[in-house]
A and B are shown apart, each in its own frame.
Chain A
């Protein structure tokens, strides 16, 4: 269905609408958040509190917090250590398809880009799994482009069933689905769901997502809740930092995660902090840059807000940055990443979705972690 002329708030047919008020709460907080209103004393007060409130979080994301980055890092490190010790989760992502029905201005896989498209057959998927498992991985993140037609729910479900033969932990980063479909994916072996809102600014969201189901803002917003209703163990939140005002987006991400955790106390919460990177056909389309210092500020603020939450560190970042944040605020790191379709067992069947900055293999990541005194953890959940 062509939704180019619809607003981002209009659902498409067959999209489940759940009974929840969280979006209103997050959007009200987002609209009201004026980060220039915070001063150094607000930041100092926030850092003196044992539990970081939403008001404290707002201060920690503000420009006034920049001079406090060292103190924030020290506290983040101690919180991370208290909750995770020196254990660091290690996983790898696998794209099994890259067909996409969305027209997202910033993405290399968008449907208007003339790139090679592929869907791995289940035999090819299994060959990839075998090769990944042989490297020693026990946790995999399975990704597709957002095409229900080319990578159907059944296709993904079958891929998950095969994955559970090889891995103890299976996560998915695919198009948002209804709760009963998440329940089906859970039954097939998936426990974790990542969905990124990209930006919480509805105007920017509309300008960046021109058509396709991803254009529907609230359906994407409520994906984590539907996943939890479907029985998933954990959900991951994130904005594509730099697509719009990163401070406001990070504030919305934190609010979103806090409210979901409060409503579903058992849910394991995690964050990803992707920054917009150069991509195929998009050299001049990066709206607002986020530098490393600012990115670190966001990661530290998430850690202080939710000391118990997982934070993933993307391969979009340099080896130097990843090594610096792991154990300080990040708790999970990918290795041997491929961001084209397949690629673990033979060559990738497509261009990459974005440029990788850290191409280290598992053994290199493993070595780095041990050198830092960290313990690589390959499995940290049992599928039950």
Chain B
């Protein structure tokens, strides 16, 4: 098989599993990264105890790309400020934009997300916006300079899987950027399903962090993501495809 790299903002990755770091013990980070061959980890800047003890940034293994997120931002201005702060403290150019102004459902605000993306992309950030899967928003994010689009599979933390499956499919078909399913993925099988659909990568946190054996679950996700990717590249069997072909021609009656 020819090389199958995930490319985000000009950076190449072999792994299509992005790990969130907010919900498990820092001491476990290294082992999880090794077990699941993770190359990207997201970190909430608000959690970074800069210059203090137990600073999460000190636990990110070497060679892993750090993706600071803007969690805690309630509007685009706050997201922009957090992204700039992250860059100032040495977190690099990647940023996952999250704008949430609802403490109950934690749903992202697509409109504010587009605005933050536009500002940050102009400032040279590699912007990966977290969004509710809406086609128009995704197009706006492309115009705003996003480097990937991260639609939610289900509300964050719910482990409900691909509730937004059909809408994510639209993005996969229409948007020429990596589509990374983020939030709601509760099981490896759901991650696999999203990859079969053609998602470029999966981001998970709660599902791994709340497993009894965090390392084993992380590697289960890695395998499921690889399996789903292979299935997508192989092309699903015709009967499973939406554009299924009848086994005998439907137009065989035509005489000229």
A contact residues vs B (CB 8 Å cutoff): 81-87, 136, 138, 168, 233, 261, 265-269, 306, 308-309, 370, 373-382, 384
Mark each residue of chain B from 1 to 32: 1 if its CB lies under 8 Å from any CB of chain A, else 0: 00000000000000000000011111000000
Cα–Cα distance between A168 and B48 once the two chains are bound (Å)? 10
**Contact at A82–B104, with CB atoms within 8 Å?**
no
What 8 A-B pairs have minimum CB-CB distances, sorted nearest first? A85-B23, A266-B101, A265-B102, A382-B46, A85-B209, A375-B25, A384-B78, A82-B157
Pick the residue among A87, A261, A267, A376 that contacts B22 (CB under 8 A): A87
Q: Which of B25, B103, B104 contacts A373 (CB 8 A)?
A: B25
B34, CB-defined interface residue at 8 Å = no
B69 to chain A, nearest CB (A): 12
- Report the minimal beta-carbon distance from A198 to chain B, rounded to whole angstroms: 25
CB atoms of B53 and A378 under 8 A apart: yes
**Chain B contacts for A269, CB-based, 8 A:** 103
Q: How far is the CA of A346 from the CA of B102 in the complex (A)?
A: 42
B74 sits at the interface (CB 8 A):
yes
Cβ of B103 and Cβ of A268 under 8 Å apart? yes
Contact pick for A85, options B45, B102, B206, CB 8 Å: B206
List chain B residues, Cβ under 8 A from A268.
103
Whether the pair B103, A377 counts as a contact (CB closer than 8 A) is no
Query: How many residue pairs at the A-B interface have CB separations less than 8 Å?
Result: 78
Q: CA A358 – CA B185 in complex, angstroms?
A: 40
How many residues from B make CB contacts under 8 Å with A? 33
Q: CB-nearest residue of chain B relative to A51?
A: B104
Chain B, 100-116, CB within 8 A of any chain A CB: 101-104, 106
A269 to B81, CA, bound (A): 23
* Chain A residue, CB-CB nearest to B100: A266
A233 to B54, CA, bound (A): 25
**Per-position binary interface string of chain B over residues 155-192, scored 1 when its CB falls under 8 Å from any chain A CB and 0 otherwise:** 00111000000000000000000000000000000000
B22 to chain A, nearest CB (A): 6
In the complex, A378→B56 CA distance in Å? 11
Closest CB-CB distance, B127 to chain A, in whole Å?
19
A376 to B102, CA, bound (A): 25
Which residues of B line the A interface, CB within 8 A? Answer: 22-26, 44-49, 52-54, 72-74, 78, 81-82, 85, 101-104, 106, 157-159, 205-206, 209-210
Chain B residues within an 8 Å CB radius of A382: 45-46, 72, 82, 85
For B101, list chain A residues within 8 Å (CB): 265-266
Pairwise interchain contact A265-B104, C-beta atoms closer than 8 A? yes
Task: Tell me whether B209 and A86 are in contact (CB under 8 A).
Answer: yes
Is A82 within 8 A of B159, CB to CB? yes
Shortest Cβ gap from B89 to chain A (Å): 11
How many whole Å from B205's CB to the nearest CB in chain A? 8
Q: Which of A82, A261, A374 contacts B210 (CB 8 A)?
A: A82
Asked if A308 and B103 make an inter-chain contact with CB atoms under 8 angstroms apart, the answer reads yes
Whether A86 and B24, one on each chain, are in contact in the complex, defined by CB atoms closer than 8 angstroms, is yes
Not counting A85-B209, A86-B25, a sample of 4 additional A-B residue pairs whose C-beta atoms are within 8 angstroms of each other reads A82-B159, A82-B206, A265-B101, A384-B81
Task: Tell me how far the C-beta of A2 lies from the nearest C-beta in chain B, rounded to whole angstroms.
Answer: 41
User: Measured between alpha carbons, how far is A376 from B26 in the docked complex, in Å?
Assistant: 10
26 of the cross-chain contacts (CB-CB < 8 Å) are: A81-B210, A82-B157, A82-B210, A84-B23, A85-B23, A85-B205, A85-B210, A86-B209, A136-B52, A233-B74, A261-B103, A265-B102, A265-B104, A266-B103, A268-B103, A308-B106, A309-B103, A374-B25, A375-B25, A377-B47, A378-B54, A379-B46, A380-B46, A382-B85, A384-B73, A384-B82
Q: How close is B198's CB to chain A, nearest CB, in angstroms?
A: 28
In the assembled complex, the CB of B70 is this many whole angstroms from the nearest CB of chain A, namely 9
Cα–Cα distance between A303 and B155 once the two chains are bound (Å): 18
A87 neighbours in B (Cβ, 8 Å): 22-23
Point out the residues of chain A lying under 8 angstroms from B44, CB to CB: 380
- Within the assembled complex, what's the spacing in Å between the Cα atoms of A82 and B101? 19
> Interface centre among A136, A266, A375, A377, by most B CB within 10 Å?
A375
Distance in angstroms between the alpha carbons of A83 and B104 in the assembled complex:
11
Q: Is the CB of B24 within 8 A of A378?
A: no
Residues in A with CB closer than 8 Å to B52 are 136, 138, 378-379
Which of chain B's residues has its CB closest to A90's CB?
A: B54
Complex CA gap A136/B53 in Å reads 7
Q: Which of B49, B52, B82, B104 counts the most A-chain CB atoms under 10 A from its CB?
A: B104
Expressed in whole angstroms, the Cα–Cα distance for A266 and B103 within the complex equals 5
Q: Which residues of A contact B78 (CB under 8 A)?
A: 384
How far is it, in angstroms, between the C-alpha of A370 and the C-alpha of B24 when the chains are bound? 11
Specify which chain A residues have a CB less than 8 angstroms from the CB of B206 in the assembled complex: 82, 85
Contact status of A138 and B23, CB under 8 A, knowing A269-B103, A382-B82: no
- A378 closest partner in B (C-beta): B49
